[in-house]
Chains A and B, each alone.
Chain A
Amino acid sequence: MDLFTDLLTGLFFFLGSLSIIIGACGLIKLPDVFSRIHAAGMIDTGGTAFFVLGMIMQSGWSLITVKLLLIGIFIFFTSPVTSHVTANLAREKGMVPEGKKIGKLL
């Protein structure tokens, strides 16, 4: 049982590390602000979700689990707010993203 939880923790940590490293590479590599927001969202959702799941596997049922879930839920609810505020402000300041534009924009 102990080995099983350790293996599961290792798997989750591996996926989380992959997620944040690819997100950070995307933050460097992608061409403009609106594309970089996707990479930042990947760090916020994927990285946090996998790392919190892995640490929950390691902690068992105690007060620590509640605190970890609190961190996860908080980042889960605030990540779209910061992404949307950044994107909205960039659009308000008159930046137009690269690429195709389909239909009439607001």
Chain B
Amino acid sequence: MSGHYTNLIIGLGIVSCAFCTYLANRAKLIDEEGLPLFFFPRLLNYLFWLFKEIIISNFNTAKVIISGNVEPEIFTVKASQHTDVARVTYANSITLTPGTVTTKIKNNILEVHALNSDFGDDVRSNEMDKKVKLLEGER
């Protein structure tokens, strides 16, 4: 981070990383959700799609704020994923695209607040749900 790459500093970094890992292992903080490795092969594809989606909905949100036709609505959708990690990914993706926010989660039912009925239709069409299910893969 600082541009200095002497042996001492790199050695100290390795030692502190190993010490932290030892402490986390001793406190039993490591479980199967720590590093979801089964995502990684398909993650890059999904991130590109998500980035494109974020920019598109940014422009739509800007249009709604300027023109002022705000008709908020709130509804529930069902998440079809099996693991908790995939559900959290789905909920975070919904929240990350401006215009839709996840307000509550109970088991596999998400409560979503949308700024406009267009955004609501976007979520209700289940396109993102299918993408995240593809990302999760066959289990």
CB distance A98 to B62 under 8 Å?
Answer: no
CB distance B104 to A106 under 8 Å?
Answer: yes
Q: Indicate the size class of the contact surface on chain A.
A: 35 or more
Question: Chain B interface secondary structure, helix, strand, loop or mixed?
Answer: mixed
Chain B CB within 8 A of A26 CB: yes
Knowing A83-B95, A97-B113, A105-B111, the reply to whether A67 touches B76 (Cβ < 8 A) is no
CB distance B95 to A30 under 8 Å?
Answer: no
With A and B bound together, what is the CA distance between A87 and B93 in angstroms? 15
Interface string of A64-106 (1 = CB under 8 A from B): 0001000000001001110110011011000001111111111
When distances are taken between beta carbons in the complex, the residues of chain B under 8 Å from A102 are 73-75, 120
Knowing A67-B1, A84-B91, A98-B72, the reply to whether A37 touches B55 (Cβ < 8 A) is no
When distances are taken between beta carbons in the complex, the residues of chain A under 8 Å from B55 are 46, 49
CB distance A18 to B62 under 8 Å?
Answer: yes
With A and B bound together, what is the CA distance between A38 and B94 in angstroms? 11
| CB within 8 Å: A-B pair count | 116
CB distance B65 to A99 under 8 Å?
Answer: no
Knowing A19-B58, A41-B101, the reply to whether A63 touches B75 (Cβ < 8 A) is no
CB distance B106 to A106 under 8 Å?
Answer: yes
CB distance B58 to A46 under 8 Å?
Answer: yes
When distances are taken between beta carbons in the complex, the residues of chain A under 8 Å from B106 are 106
Taking a contact as CB atoms closer than 8 A, the residue among B68, B70, B92, B99 that contacts A80 in the complex is B92
Which 3 residue pairs of A and B lie closest in terms of their CB atoms, listed nearest first? A99-B72, A80-B95, A102-B75
Question: Interface of B with A (CB < 8 Å)?
Answer: 1, 3, 51, 54-55, 58, 61-62, 65-66, 68, 70-76, 91-93, 95-104, 106, 109, 111, 113, 115, 120
Question: Interface of A with B (CB < 8 Å)?
Answer: 18-19, 22-23, 25-26, 29-32, 34-35, 37-39, 41-42, 45-46, 49, 63, 67, 76, 79-81, 83-84, 87-88, 90-91, 97-106
